[in-house]
Structures are given as C-alpha cells and as structure tokens.
Amino acid sequence: MLTNKEIVDAIHQMRAMYPEAGTTLKADTTFHFLLATILSAQSTDKSVNMITPALFTRFPTPKSLAKAEPEDAEPYIQSLGLYHNKAKYLVNAARGIVTNFNGQVPHTMKELTSLPGVGRKVANVVLAECFHIPAFPVDTHVSRVARRLGMVNPNATVLQIEKRLKEAVPKDEWLDAHHAMIFFGRYQCTARNPKCNKCPLLPICKYGQDNVF
Ligand code: SF4
C-alpha cells in the first residue's frame, strides 16, 4: 500500500498532467448544480450538460420543480439512463428543499443526504463546489485509480477510500485532488485498456506492472 507521501506525490503528478482539471458540469445556481449532480449518476457530464439548459429554463427554482410531477420532468431528461427514477429524485429533492429548508439548498452532509437522490458522493460534490466546504467526493474514477495504485486495498469500500484519501492529502488540496483523480481516471487509467505503457506512475503501480509485463 502507498504511504501518505506516495499518495500525495502521485496526485501531484496527476495534477501536473491535467492542470485544467475541474468540474465539467454546467449550472447557473446551486439548486441547478445539485440537479445536474443527481443526473450525472451513471451518465457522463457531457450528456448531462446537453439536456440541462432546457430543464433549468423550465424549472428555474426549487418551488417550480416542487409543484411539478415526475412525468413533467421526464421529457427533459429522457436521453439519460434511469430517467424515470431520476425524474422522481429531482422532483422529490425539490420538494424536500421547499418543505424542510425554506427553499434553500442546505449545506451540511446530514441535511443534503436527507434529500431523495442525494447520496454521500453528490453531497460531497455540492459541499465542495458550491459551498467551498472541504470534501473529497469519491466517484467511479477516484475509486478505480485509488484501488489500482494501491492507495487502498483492492476491496476497499467507497467510504474507506474517502477516509484514506482524507487522511493522506492536506485538506486544502482535497478538491483539486478529487478533480485530478477524475481526469486521470477518465483519460489515462481508464476502466478498459488503461494506458499503462505510457503512465508516469507505472514505477509505483503493481496493477500496471502486471498489466504491461
Ligand atoms: Fe492506471 Fe496503469 Fe497508470 Fe497504474 S500504470 S495508474 S493501472 S494507467
């Protein structure tokens, strides 16, 4: 397993490879960013960004979406997978915001995860991106990269990965580290056919060494 220093050094290398790494979801308000983040489960940010402008125009506020039925939202998101469920999550999250939080997106983990469709990853993304509260969201890319590189053991849960990365990485680097790991996972350490032959982290990566040699 990598030491704290090796984890930080590896993430710095990823950051150097992708200095532009940042959120790729587009939204004009915190509420809309929350909706986009819910929609991004099992969908690419690019596919979400294609459909959200019309959705956001039709439902500009939590109140407007809370008054709707899931079927009213479905036509706007039907190009995404799981759109029946996602429409329910969006409407019910809006209703939760209106009913329990006076129409404002809350900014604690406990409150955010009380909303339908909002799990720990979505909450962490919103806390970090919208409220600038230190958080380390762990998505599919972060999980894969952390496991392959031996930052955590291969069977580590998402929660264990988040805990380990938070231990190793200084708090003020959490969000940048999250972005760097996503870009690295998206373009270098891809789920299928990772580019191990051309990876600067190959010398510390047992998975990659087994893959190449
Ligand atoms: Fe991923 Fe391969 Fe690089 Fe290891 S060597 S981090 S598996 S791309």
pLDDT of 106-138, one tens digit each? 999 999 999 999 999 999 999 999 999 999 999
What residue ranges line ligand 1, CB within 6 angstroms? 148-149, 188-189, 194-196, 199, 201-202, 205, 207-208, 211
Position 213 pLDDT exceeds 80: no
Position 100 pLDDT exceeds 80: yes
Atom of ligand 1 nearest to the CA of 188: 8
Question: Which pLDDT score is estimated for 212?
Answer: 81
Position 75 pLDDT exceeds 80: yes
Q: How many CB atoms lie within 10 A of CB 93?
A: 25
In the residue annotation, 139 being an active-site residue is answered as yes
Helices of type H across the chain: 4-17, 30-39, 45-58, 62-66, 70-77, 83-100, 109-112, 120-131, 140-149, 158-168, 174-187, 206-212
pLDDT of 17-35, one tens digit each? 999 999 999 999 999 999 9
CB distance 49 to 28 below 8 Å: no
In the residue annotation, 28 being an active-site residue is answered as no
| Nearest one of 52, 11, 23, 18 to 125, comparing CA atoms | 23
Atom of ligand 1 nearest to the CA of 195: 8
| Nearest one of 164, 187, 165 to 176, comparing CA atoms | 165
pLDDT of 137-153, one tens digit each? 999 999 999 999 999 99
Longest dimension (CA), the chain: 59
Atom of ligand 1 nearest to the CA of 194: 8
Question: Which pLDDT score is estimated for 190?
Answer: 97
| Nearest one of 190, 168, 206 to 11, comparing CA atoms | 168
Average pLDDT of span 87-96: 98
- pTM of the complete model beyond 0.85: yes
pLDDT of 149-200, one tens digit each? 999 999 999 999 999 999 999 999 999 999 999 999 999 999 999 999 999 9
Q: Which two tokens stand for residue 207?
A: 């998975």
% of the chain with per-residue pLDDT over 70: 100
Is the pLDDT higher at 212 or at 79?
79
Euclidean distance between CA atoms 51 and 81, whole angstroms: 12
CB distance 126 to 112 below 8 Å: yes
Cα(142) to ligand 1 centroid in Å equals 13
